[in-house]
Amino acid sequence: MTLVICPECKLPFSARGGFDTVCLPCYKQTRGYELTKADDAHIRLAVETKELQERMNTYTTDVAKLRAQVVELQAKLTQTPTTAQGVQTKGVLTEAFLKTLISLCHPDKHANNEKALEATKVLIALRGSR
């Protein structure tokens, strides 16, 4: 069975074999039949099905957007240098080189200079983010 939209009520229904052109409740109404409790249940289910399809379409669109964002962010991640406190490296700072830089700019070697302290903090943050 295939879900199709009834042209009368605009609700989805299962077309049996492709020859149904309207849902059963609409068929009955156009022929003057009284609707039964089963028909009422059918209508409620059709309304719920339509709402669920709309939500699913929204979620599908949201997932597609999120997937595109993930691809974009992954591309940026591979292109963007590592960042720590505003300082960017291009993958050239090895652990040994970072250790050397920390020892060279350590505040103890520069009379507790504020800039030396800040530079050391950044280098230690870079070392810790690896």
Residue pair 125/117 in contact (Cβ under 8 Å)? The answer is no
Same structural domain for residues 11 and 43? yes
**Tokens found for residue 67:** 């997937």
What's the pLDDT tens digit per position in 46-83? 999 999 999 999 999 999 999 999 998 888 877 755 55
- For the chain, what is the domain count? 2
Contact 37, 28 (CB under 8 A): no
| Burial of 89 per CB tally in 10 Å (0-12, 13-18, 19+) | middle
Tens digit of each residue's pLDDT (9 = 90 or more) over 76-116: 877 755 555 555 555 667 888 888 888 888 888 888 888 88
Residue 17, token pair as written in the block: 């074999």
Residues 23 and 46 in one domain: yes
Domain limits for position 58 = 2-77
Residues 61 and 90 occupy one common structural domain: no
What pTM was estimated for this model as a whole?
0.48
